[in-house]
Structure 1
Amino acid sequence: MQLEVLDAVIKGVLVGLFMAISVGPTLFAVIKYSMDNSYKAGLAFVLGVSFSDFLYVTIANVAASWLIVLGKHGDMIAYIGSAILIIVGTAGTLRKMKPKRPAKEAATISGAHYVRIWASGFIINTINPGVIISWLAAVSATANKTGGYRLILFGTCLVLILSIDFLKVFLAEKIRVLLTPRRLIYVQRGSSLIIACLGALLLVKTLMSHGT
Structure 2
Amino acid sequence: MSTALLEGISMGLLLSVMVGPVFFTLIQSSLEYGFRFAAVLALGILLSDTIYVVITYFGIRFLADATWFEQGLGYLGGAILVGFGISSLVKKQVDRPNTGGIHVPQHRKRTAFAKGFSINGINPFVLLFWISIASLVSLNEEWGASSVISYYVGILVTVFSIDLLKAFIAKKLSRFVTPRLMKGLNKLVGLVMIGFGMRMIAWAMGLLGR
User: What TM-score, normalized to structure 2?
Assistant: 0.88
Unmatched tracts of structure 2, length 5 or more = none
Please, which of 190, 193, 206 is the counterpart of residue 192 of structure 1?
190
Matched, 1:112 2:90: no
Q: Could you tell me how far 1:69 is from its partner in structure 2?
A: 6.7
CA distance in 1, matches of 2:66, 2:165: 31
Asked if the contact 1:34–1:41 (Cα under 8 Å) also holds between the matched residues in 2, the reply is: yes
Q: Could you tell me how far 1:52 is from its partner in structure 2?
A: 0.9
After the TM superposition, which residues 172-191 of structure 1 pair with which residues of structure 2 at under 5 Å, given as runs?
172-191=170-189
- Percent sequence identity is 26
CA RMSD of aligned residues (A): 2.2
Q: What secondary structure sits across from 2:93 in the alignment?
A: coil
For residues 155-188 of structure 1, what are the alpha-carbon distances to aligned partners after superposition, in whole Å with 9 as ceiling and x for unaligned? 1111100000001111221222211221122122
**Other-structure match for 1:30:** 26
**Other-structure match for 1:93:** 89
Structure 1 residues 39 and 76: alpha-carbon distance in aligned structure 2, compared to 1, 3 A threshold: same
1:116 counterpart letter in structure 2: T
Structure 1 residues 105 and 207: alpha-carbon distance in aligned structure 2, compared to 1, 3 A threshold: closer
After the TM superposition, which residues 35-184 of structure 1 pair with which residues of structure 2 at under 5 Å, given as runs?
35-65=31-61, 67-68=63-64, 72-97=68-93, 100-106=95-101, 110-143=105-138, 144=141, 145-184=143-182
Asked if the contact 1:36–1:188 (Cα under 8 Å) also holds between the matched residues in 2, the reply is: no
CA distance in 2, matches of 1:81, 1:183: 28
**Other-structure match for 1:17:** 13
1:38 counterpart letter in structure 2: G
Structure 1 residues 178 and 103: alpha-carbon distance in aligned structure 2, compared to 1, 3 A threshold: same
Q: Could you tell me how far 1:106 is from its partner in structure 2?
A: 2.9
1:173 counterpart letter in structure 2: K
CA distance in 1, matches of 2:65, 2:170: 37
Q: What secondary structure sits across from 1:157 in the alignment?
A: helix
Asked if the contact 2:36–2:100 (Cα under 8 Å) also holds between the matched residues in 1, the reply is: no
CA distance in 1, matches of 2:64, 2:208: 20
Residues matched between the structures, number: 207
CA distance in 1, matches of 2:174, 2:191: 18
CA distance in 1, matches of 2:44, 2:180: 30
Q: What secondary structure sits across from 1:156 in the alignment?
A: helix
User: What TM-score, normalized to structure 1?
Assistant: 0.87
For residues 1-58 of structure 1, what are the alpha-carbon distances to aligned partners after superposition, in whole Å with 9 as ceiling and x for unaligned? x7xx22x123212221222211111111112222221111111111000011112212
